[in-house]
Copies of this chain bind each other. A is one copy, B any other.
């Protein structure tokens, strides 16, 4: 159910942990864009966008193709899929009707290996 394999998703989550980059992702989902376009879209300097694009590339979320002097960026689906799969491992857990803290007193009584000295 919940694997212990190192998932290597840190770069992806990290790439998405930024408003600018999430907006870039969404812009690219609608249509490939050049770096300059993204810069003007977000009202940022070219070097700033360039760094964000690098972060996205390091997470393999984006691919580029150069046409003339223009770099067109397009979204990759694989990382978002992996992210989806990661979240899905919790769906069985969502299945149990635990309202988090509401039922965790029940957990405590049911799980004696929890270091809870009897008061």
A residues within 8 Å of B by Cβ? 2, 6-7, 9-10, 13-14, 16-19, 22, 26, 29-34, 36-37, 63, 65, 67-68, 70, 72, 74-77, 80-81, 83-84, 86-87, 89-90, 93-94, 100-101, 104, 107-108, 111, 114-117, 119
Given A19-B10, A22-B9, A63 and B100 contact (CB-CB distance below 8 Å): yes
Which residue among A37, A90, A108 has the maximum number of chain B CB atoms within 10 Å of its CB? A90
**What residue of chain B has the Cβ atom nearest to residue A119's Cβ?**
B68
The answer on a CB contact under 8 Å between A87 and B83 is yes
The answer on a CB contact under 8 Å between A2 and B14 is no
Contacts of A107 in B (CB 8 A): 31-32, 74
The answer on a CB contact under 8 Å between A104 and B67 is no
The answer on a CB contact under 8 Å between B74 and A80 is no
The answer on a CB contact under 8 Å between A100 and B77 is yes
The 5 closest A-B pairs by CB, nearest first: A13-B17, A14-B17, A13-B16, A32-B104, A74-B104
Could you show 15 A-B contacts with beta carbons less than 8 Å apart?
A: A9-B16, A10-B17, A10-B19, A13-B14, A16-B17, A22-B86, A32-B108, A67-B116, A68-B119, A70-B116, A72-B108, A74-B104, A74-B107, A77-B94, A84-B87
